Structures are given as C-alpha cells and as structure tokens.
Chain A
C-alpha cells in the first residue's frame, strides 16, 4: 500500500530566557514556521542575521494544504538550499485538462519552453515542503527554531518589539529588532495590533479533500465545470506524491460547515466521482469559504506581515502559498541589508511598495477565477456556460475559460528600486521582473544561470567572445556587494558559456550589455553600455537610496 508520511516531532527545549530568567534578544523574530516563515528565516540567517523562529506546534503541517509549488517558488527554495527534496519527491505536471459536463473542452500546456531547471509546477503536500525547509535550517547556527512556542503578547516600541512567548514551561519575553509575522490567516500578531483585512468573502463553499488511492489518472490537473458526478458545480482532481489525490468539490451556498466536512458525508460525494467500487481512504478534509482580501499595509513599524497573515486568495491558481513565498523572497534581503548596515531604513518601505501590487494582482486573478466558477445570477451563468460551450470549437472562448490563473511571479513595474533602461531592450527581462533561468556551461560542467547569481547583487556582463576585453575597472573597481558574472557564447577562464544562446535570447543580450540583478534574483537595471557610474547609481537605487544618489 501507499507510503504514508510520518510527522517528525520536534521537541521543545527550554531556551536560555527560561533557564536564566531573563529577557531575550533577536535581530529578527519570525512568527510561524510554515513555508513562508521558514523561507524568510532561512534567507535571513543565510545572510548572517541572528533569527529566532517560533512556532506553536511541534511538527510540520497537518494536512497537505498548499500542494502546487510554482516554478518561481521552486527556484527560491532551491536558492535556500531546499530544492533537492522537491525534485526527488514532487509530482511534476505541466498539463491541465478542462471538462464541461461529460466532455473535455480543451487542454493546455504550461511550460512549452525547454532550458529551465524547474518545471512550471510540482505538486507536493505542504508537510513535505515544510520538512525539506526545516532540514535546510540545520546548517544555519544563527537560526534558532523554537517549537511549542506561541506568541501570546506583542508590544511594539520605537526601537524594538517585545514579544511574550508562551511555552510548556511558562512564558518569557523576547526583544526583537524586527518581527516578521508569518502566522497565517488568523494571525495573532495581526489581531493583537487590531489590523483588519479589506476585501471580499465569497458565499460559495469548497470541500477540499485528500484521498489515498491507487489510480491510473495521469499527472495532470483535471478541472470539471458541471460534471455529471457533481451536478451544477465544479470539481478538481490533482495528483500528489504517495498515491494521494487532491479532490476539490464546490458546494452550494447552503452547505452546512459542521455537516459537510464529516467523513460520512464526504465519502458518498467522492464515490459518485470515482465510482462506488473505488477503494480510497480519506486523509484530510477542509471546508473552505473563499476570501480575497489583504491588509491595507503589510508593514506596521518594525513588524512585517508575509503570506496569509497579510493577504488571502482563493486556492484555484495556487497564488496563496506561492505569493507568500515571494513575500519572503522580497523582504529577506532588504531586512538583512538594513540590519547589516548596507542599506538605509528607507529600503524597508519598498516591501509594501513592491508586494502590495503583487498581492493585488493575485487577488484580482483569484477573484475572477472564483467568479467564473460561481456565477452570481442566472444571466451570468448563461454567459459562463456559453463560454464553456463555445470553447469546444473556438480558441477565443478557450482563453476566457477560467479554472484558475496559475501563479506567476509579479513584475514589479514602477518600483522605486528599478533603474530605467539605458538603451533599447526587447524581451521580458525588464527591471522588476524575476530573472529567468537558462542552461549555462561553467568550469565544472553544465549548470543553471540562477545558480551563478550570488546571494548578493550580481552584475552580469555579456561578451561576444570570452576573450574580448572587459570594461574599465572590471572587476577590480566593482562595489564590494556586487558579484561579477561574465557570460559569452563559449565559456572561457572566468567566463560562463551560453552555447545554446538561451541566456542571450531571454535577456536580449548584445556584446557589452550589463544587467544588475538583485539578491532576490529580480532585475534591478540593465544597460547597453557599462560604466561604473551607471552601476553605482543603479545599486544605490536598488538599495533604497533613490533620494540621495539617483
């Protein structure tokens, strides 16, 4: 029978604060060891910051919850040293099929392009994701995870935040220079500060279940509108590792939460879908009311909100967890740069400036998907059904079918950290975009472009030939926090090769083109003509100094 994940138990150990009866200190306290909290804690610690991560539980996620890990999230987890587990264990899928009634309406392929380390998505239970991330913390002595430790008090002041932490052996106080609240949709930190969400709550309910079964369905995302087995509603079937399948069933507005999530009521619904003879076990049941909402600001003094504590979306589109991990990616390097004295406090303001529009993009997409699945009137249902019917024959209608617009990283257009292009560029790698991966050749063999970016800023120079002259002052006069990377069609000493031209095409490179890449692997600036002055200006902007040095 199927392999079953065994939850590790992470024991509580009394911290020095309790043993010595004193108030503790941390540069950053991250609240909540979910995927977002773990990501930001690892990222901060890897940048030399002293981090305390507190979590009220003693193990990883119960239930599989977030299952679709996007390419960008995989790249981030890989950068954090947790990629291997996802590559080994995750179920790779690129294809989705849509059904209307009995008929397949169409199918789509998410990633048609070769030359990327990671697929568009892998499916994996959240407990695995957290398990891999917890293991990646082990090499970081300055990251202290404290299990069975619940924040029970938050007292902000001008130069620190005092947290009271409740433990099995009593409470203690911890003074943190900064707090990152990754404590989920019902965030204690958020509620304590009296911050409210703005947005929409949808009336419809979705029954989200995981079942274990031996089944021959392929590794594809199957979505039904009005399937014969679940009349008038929608349904989703998606594969996870260990013979676990995610099944989502839309329920109508009258569905009773205390009743519909009982196993004896869920089982007949799944039998109608899989057939009465199907053998399956129900692992997890959750009844969801969709919410698309966010905090007005994700920053409150020295406290930052990331992931579900800051914003929530409906699950179709996988924009909740993936969006949250991108919050972590965005905040960690900024917080580290300020704490390490490499950037002014002003850099921290760019977290809201960059992540609020990203959150709005996720909320817009996920609201529209939910509206498509849950027509609010008969007339709107008529239009929706007409789209689905026409989609069988017409491409224009297929493009309107919305069973979830799957997570892609937001491009931070208009961010004050971006420097306008110097020279004309084509292609998607404009300032604010997450850097695209591509295969490269290094002295050690074939590798991936994103692996060549250091944890700091990277300045990427393209040469027409590995032997061409370098610009004046390269690399000797480059600022200390910038890591030089030289690329040419064929590799050479100190020069990375791009033999298939993927990097050249994706980044619209010409001999002499230079990109400045941020520590979170987003494009900060690009120029056709390199100069030290350009680099200093772009770096200053990217560090939040626009007012002083631009």
Chain B
C-alpha cells in the first residue's frame, strides 16, 4: 500500500510554483542549494513519516535515473 500521496492536491499550482521560485530570489547558487536542502528537511519533519519519505525519495530517484542517457 502506498503511503505517499501523488494525486493532485494542490489548489493553486501556479501560486505554489511561484512560491518555490520566489524563495530563491536573489540567492547565490550555494545559498539556493542550501535553501533546497533546508526546505526538504522542514517538509520532511512536517510529514514526520519515514515510510512516506522513503517512498518519495525512491520515486524521485527513479525519475532521475530514467533520464540517464543510457537508460
């Protein structure tokens, strides 16, 4: 059984995307990387469920691997 919700639950997708973009406004690359990492940790704590996080990480990893040139 899946613990991770991948159904669309975002009411205002453009606003959410913009919120992520805005968070990086004016940051240097290294700062932006830190922002991403801190964001992941804050959201991971909000979720608080290891199974959900592991499933999301596996899904993200599979998605990345699919884009390898030799995949």
List residues of chain A with CB under 8 Å of any chain B CB. 378, 382-383, 385-387, 389-390, 394, 396-397, 400
Across the two chains, which residue of chain A brings its CB closest to B30?
A382
Please pick, from B36, B42, B45, the residue contacting A382 in the complex, using a CB distance under 8 A: B36
Cβ-defined contact, B33 with A382, below 8 A: yes
What B residues does A396 contact at CB under 8 A? 41, 45
Within 8 Å CB of A382, what residues of B?
33-34, 36-37
A115 shortest CB reach to chain B, Å: 34
Give A378 to B29 CA distance when docked, in angstroms.
13
Contact with A along B1-43 (1 / 0, CB 8 A): 0000000000000000000000000000000011011101110
Chain A residue at minimum C-beta to C-beta distance from B38 = A386
Question: Do B38 and A389 touch across chains, with their CB atoms under 8 A apart?
Answer: yes
Of the listed residues A385, A386, A396, the one surrounded by the most CB atoms of chain B closer than 10 A to its CB is A386
Q: Which residues of B contact A389 (CB under 8 A)?
A: 34, 38
Closest beta carbon of chain B to A104's beta carbon, Å = 19
CB-based closest 9 A-B pairs: A386-B37, A382-B37, A396-B45, A386-B38, A383-B37, A382-B33, A386-B41, A390-B38, A390-B41
A386-B37, A390-B38 are known contacts; what are 9 more A-B pairs with Cβ within 8 Å?
A382-B34, A382-B36, A383-B40, A383-B41, A386-B40, A387-B41, A390-B41, A396-B41, A397-B41
10 A-B pairs with C-beta separation under 8 A? A378-B33, A382-B37, A385-B34, A386-B34, A386-B37, A386-B40, A387-B41, A389-B34, A389-B38, A397-B45
Closest chain A residue to B35, Cβ basis: A386
Distance of A451 Cα from B69 Cα, bound (Å): 67
Kindly list chain B residues whose C-beta atoms are within 8 Å of the C-beta of A383: 37, 40-41
- Residue in A385, A394, A400 whose beta carbon sits within 8 Å of that of B37 in the complex: A385
In whole Å, how far is B36's beta carbon from the nearest beta carbon of chain A?
7
Q: How far is the CB of A377 from chain B (nearest CB, A)?
A: 12
- Within the assembled complex, what's the spacing in Å between the Cα atoms of A394 and B42? 9
How far apart are the CA atoms of A383 and B41 in the complex, in Å? 8
Report A-chain residues with C-beta under 8 Å of the C-beta of B33.
378, 382
Separation in Å of the A383 CB from the closest CB of chain B?
A: 5
Q: How far is the CB of B57 from chain A (nearest CB, A)?
A: 11
CA distance A382 to B31 in the complex (A): 10
Q: How far is the CB of A307 from chain B (nearest CB, A)?
A: 34
- Give the distance to chain A from B70, nearest Cβ to Cβ, in Å: 20
- Complex alpha-carbon distance, A382 and B36, angstroms: 9
The chain B residue sitting closest to A391, CB to CB, is B41
A400 CA to B38 CA in the complex, in Å? 13
Task: Give Cα distance in the complex from A389 to B34, angstroms.
Answer: 9
Which residues of A are found within 8 Å of B41, using beta-carbon distances? 383, 386-387, 390, 396-397, 400
**B40 cross-chain contacts in A, Cβ below 8 A:** 383, 386
